[in-house]
Amino acid sequence: MITVQELLFNRGLDKNAKIKLVRHKDQRQDLYNLYRTEYDEFLKYQNSQSKDVFRNVDYIVSFIGEDGNRSRFIGVFKITDRKTINENHFEYQMVRENGFEDLTERVIIVWKTAISWHQWIKNQMEVIEIQAGLHYRQFTDYSDFILDFHELKEIVKNQYSDWKKMLSITKGIYLISDTNSGKLYVGSAYGEEGIWGRWCKYISTNGHGNNKMLKEQIDFDKDYAKHFQFSILMLLPRTVTSDQAIKKERLFKNKLGTNSFGLNSN
């Protein structure tokens, strides 16, 4: 028998910390769908409690309840702050811990005593299934990937450490391809957080990144970003200035004709 404790402690979870296992299940809504499609709303659900259940807790290991006692692992969260709103409302600030990305959404356990939705980690929970990694793809090289919008959203939402690290340390010229129309958009990332910071903006704006022509598409169809694919055309040095980056961006716009026939408006 493999326990979830073995998996987590082997990945670096602090055995000496105060840790609770938490199983979310709500007959009023589909929490897994909320987690997958509206992550910020899910965090609000998790972080707001009517009882002070996470008082003096360092980490929670979070699961979403499925049929019977099946429970799907969705992450380890460090509690960074706690506020008492009133006697029936407690708010917690939490940060997702890195290092468990390849287990997220794949590990299924049997939850002991389903009525106890939060339990100390000392209560051993058996792993009954580790599903194939359908959602998580590991970063390998800057030139060998094309991410669709759903994949990029998955990476940003889960703060996958390998992607975040590699995309944060470099600046560059990137391409967005609209697979529905065949049109292209060329952009540049030259801020402090590099390509990672720029691409995060596309996720937080539902795909348009505040670009005029992309925004028009999203305003017309809020789900249109499902047609977008992201890739890198050229890496730029960390010391590149904004003027230098924009000059390279303009070069690729001219090469690919994205002002005349694509999605660039300037």
pTM over 0.75: no
pLDDT at 37: 82
C-alpha distance from residue 223 to each of 24, 33, 37, 39, 92 (Å)? 28, 16, 12, 16, 32
pLDDT at 132: 59
d(CA 116, CA 22): 9
| 155-192 per-position pLDDT tens digit | 888 778 789 999 999 999 999 999 999 999 999 999 99
| 18-49 per-position pLDDT tens digit | 999 999 999 888 898 888 888 899 999 999 99
Q: Would the pLDDT of 17 be above 60? A: yes
Q: Would the pLDDT of 262 be above 60? A: yes
6 contacts: CB under 8 Å, gap ≥ 6: none
Q: Would the pLDDT of 203 be above 60? A: yes
C-alpha angle 73-79-80 in degrees, rounded to nearest 5: 145
Q: Would the pLDDT of 136 be above 60? A: no
